Amino acid sequence: MRLKLTLVIIVYYACLIAASSQDSGELKQQNLRLYLSEDESSFAGLLMVNQIWTKFSWNNPGTLDLSGDALDRNFDIGLRRSRLVLYTQLFNRVFMYTQLAYDGMTYGSSRPPALSIINAVTEYYLVKDKLEVGVGLHTWNGVSRYSNSKLLEFLVIDNPAFVYPTLNTFDLAGRQLGIYAKGHLDRLHYRLSVNKPFICDESDLLEPGRTVAANSESLALKGYVDWQFMDKESLMLPYLSMNNLGSLRIFNVGFGFYFQPGATQSISMDDGSLLKNDIILFGADLFIDLPLRNKGIITSYLGLYSYDFGPGYIRSIGKMSTGTGGSLLQGPGVNEWETGTGFIARLEAGYLFPHPESSSGYQPFIGLSYKNLEALQEPSLQYDLGANMILFKNNIKLTMQYSARPLYEGSIASDDLMAVGLKGLLIFQTQFYF
């Protein structure tokens, strides 16, 4: 295992050295677009992306491999995301957007992989740029900027899962079926939606002292607004950059929410009756991405999240996790307590060093997550450390990141989840899109 890990690190730094000495040239544009009218008001476009992870995991206690043997650590390669985006605008009046995806393939995934539609919307420009209304399977989300983040332009290697608080319970990869409105009013950007959430998986054990997801016929309301003090960001697609590389001067302050009545359930500790709880979530954030006088670029994000899913709700998630079993309630592999009722803070900061080629550079970063959740006896503090090698903007990018996660022993129902140590995850990502 140590040899494999060493080889990954050597290959990564060899790529950095090779990339820094090459001239990337320039592309006329970074995506495929065909204009259908002379005034360019009608066009059709295509985006493609592959994000591939090579990773070394220090697994949670009790993790087993597929044959039932202990799997304390393992090396594997996985397909984090593969996406195909198709979009069309006609006469500055109607916009159609569809995204096909396969995410999260590991060596233990089912074969052949299943391609999914994760976006499919039709949008009407009632007042161009000021009031645009759409309907379908969409990701014009609430809560925070990060909940609307552009997967092609992360500072860290991936978004923390808590920024999609209903991930794959009441939504599909952060998407819901609904009607949305969005636009710019001077420097105020807004997005609001009314949605019919998906029916959730009620497989979690319902017991006294524990809150779990419940099926609900209620609508969900969500929205996000921010004030853009400097340059305005495009709203053609729903995604907001977390790493703009200085192509715009961004200084934004935002606020968001998510509300869904009767979406979780719990058992009363007083009389044993079944209780239905509302999901009420709020977020506030600050995002800065600014070029400096020395031609370096500073990027920073601060997000504050107040989540209420019902008393003591907590949820474990493991991205690209492998292995089964696990002696901790948070699960095997790289599973961790990601979200729940309580307070969460997220801080990210990175610096892109000046480079002779404006489209290239070396960008170290740090990410910190603080989670003060009701179900945890003591708050969780996690960190991500890494660096991006920008070969050509965000189109060709290599990333190395080490992440630490806390381990908790105990029971949710007994309210005694105690921190007992840390485990780590090392990932090397290759990203290519056009």
Helix, strand, coil content of the chain in percent (nearest 5): 5, 55, 40
Element holding 245 (H helix, E strand) = none
Closest by alpha carbon to 387, among 1, 4, 13? Answer: 13
For the chain, what is the largest distance between any 2 Cα atoms, rounded to a whole number of angstroms? 71
Residue-level pLDDT at 29: 55
- Set out the domains of the chain in order of their start, with CATH numbers: 2-433 (2.40.160.10)
**What is the spatial distance between Cα 338 and Cα 335, in angstroms, rounded to a whole number?**
9
Residue-level pLDDT at 22: 47
pLDDT digits (tens, 9 = 90+) for 311-351: 989 999 999 999 999 999 999 999 999 999 999 999 999 99
pLDDT digits (tens, 9 = 90+) for 412-434: 776 679 999 999 999 999 999 98
Query: How many other CB atoms sit within 10 Å of the CB of residue 212?
Result: 21
DSSP letter at 107? T
pLDDT tens digits, the chain, 434 residues: what are they?
555 545 544 554 455 444 444 444 555 555 688 998 888 899 999 999 999 999 999 999 999 998 899 999 999 999 999 999 999 999 999 999 999 999 999 998 877 777 899 999 999 999 999 999 999 999 999 999 999 999 999 999 999 999 999 999 999 999 999 999 999 999 999 999 999 999 886 666 677 767 888 888 899 999 999 999 999 999 999 999 999 999 999 999 999 999 999 999 988 777 778 889 999 999 999 999 999 988 899 999 999 999 999 998 999 999 999 999 999 999 999 999 999 999 999 999 999 998 887 788 999 999 999 999 999 999 999 999 999 999 999 999 999 999 999 999 998 776 679 999 999 999 999 999 98
Residue-level pLDDT at 66: 85
Place of tokens 């050597």: 10
| Whole-prediction pTM | 0.91
Query: How many other CB atoms sit within 10 Å of the CB of residue 182?
Result: 22
**What is the spatial distance between Cα 158 and Cα 61, in angstroms, rounded to a whole number?**
24
Residue-level pLDDT at 201: 67
**What is the spatial distance between Cα 83 and Cα 156, in angstroms, rounded to a whole number?**
19
Residue-level pLDDT at 19: 45
Residue-level pLDDT at 13: 46
Cis peptide before 112 (omega within 30 of 0): yes
